[in-house]
């Protein structure tokens, strides 16, 4: 597939997720809550997580917020990808996403949907839009309860 067509495909997926997100809302119950903000674009995101009874696995994750197509699509794709993952696995995915945004890595086949965001790494000003949801997730996972510790800013 020509690189240009591939870019078009990525854009289509991003726009489709933006228009028809599959994981918007709030989890019930909410075991973790975290708000994140990306001042450079104005994206705001609120993540809620439902954890397993032992607290070591993500059973559900949803997001609410306002922002550009990249920020919202990234949140929706992330929510899908981290469902069922352990907290450790999710934190490793945060790390891998950041490395991917530096153009150095990508996700394995079972998580290839996330690689749609790879194209964003070519547009430095938009990287913060794509990583906002992952920064917010990291803060949510590192919190010890459902109380939001202020707002995460990725500035
Ligand atoms: Zn944005």
User: Around Cβ 88, how many Cβ atoms within 10 Å?
Assistant: 11
Distance from residue 70's CA to the centre of ligand 1 (Å):
6
Overall average pLDDT of the 112-121 stretch: 91
Two tokens at 56? 């070591």
Place 1 in a pLDDT band, splitting at 50, 70 and 90: very low
Distance from residue 43's CA to the centre of ligand 1 (Å):
5
Distance from residue 53's CA to the centre of ligand 1 (Å):
35
Whether 105 has a pLDDT exceeding 80, the answer reads: yes
- The ranges assigned to domains in the chain are 3-153
Mean per-residue pLDDT of the chain? 91
For helices 124-142 and 87-101, the axis angle rounded to 10 degrees is: 170
CATH number for 3-153 (one of 3.40.50.1000, 2.60.40.10, 3.90.1010.10, 3.30.470.20): it is 3.90.1010.10
Overall average pLDDT of the 28-38 stretch: 95
If 0-12 CB within 10 Å is exposed, 13-18 middle and 19+ buried, where does residue 85 land?
middle
Distance from residue 99's CA to the centre of ligand 1 (Å):
19
pTM of the predicted model, to two decimals? Answer: 0.91
Rounded distance between C-alpha atoms, residue 101 and residue 33, angstroms:
25
Q: Residues 40-64: pLDDT tens digits?
A: 999 999 999 999 999 999 999 999 9
Distance from residue 74's CA to the centre of ligand 1 (Å):
10
Distance from residue 66's CA to the centre of ligand 1 (Å):
9
């Amino acid at each position: 597939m020509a690189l240009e067509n591939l870019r078009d495909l990525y854009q289509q997926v991003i726009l489709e997720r933006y228009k028809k997100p599959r994981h918007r809302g709030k989890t019930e119950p909410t075991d973790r809550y975290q708000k994140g903000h990306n001042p450079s674009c104005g994206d705001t995101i609120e993540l809620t997580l439902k954890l397993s009874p032992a607290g070591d696995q993500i059973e559900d994750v949803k997001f609410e917020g306002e922002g550009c197509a990249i920020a919202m699509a990234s949140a929706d794709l992330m929510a899908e990808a981290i469902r069922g993952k352990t907290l450790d696995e999710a934190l490793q995915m945060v790390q891998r996403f950041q490395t991917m945004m530096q153009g150095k890595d990508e996700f394995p086949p079972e998580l290839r949907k996330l690689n749609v965001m790879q194209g964003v790494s070519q547009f430095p000003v938009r990287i913060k839009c794509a990583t906002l949801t992952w920064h917010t997730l990291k803060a949510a996972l590192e919190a010890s309860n459902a109380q939001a510790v202020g707002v995460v800013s990725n500035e």
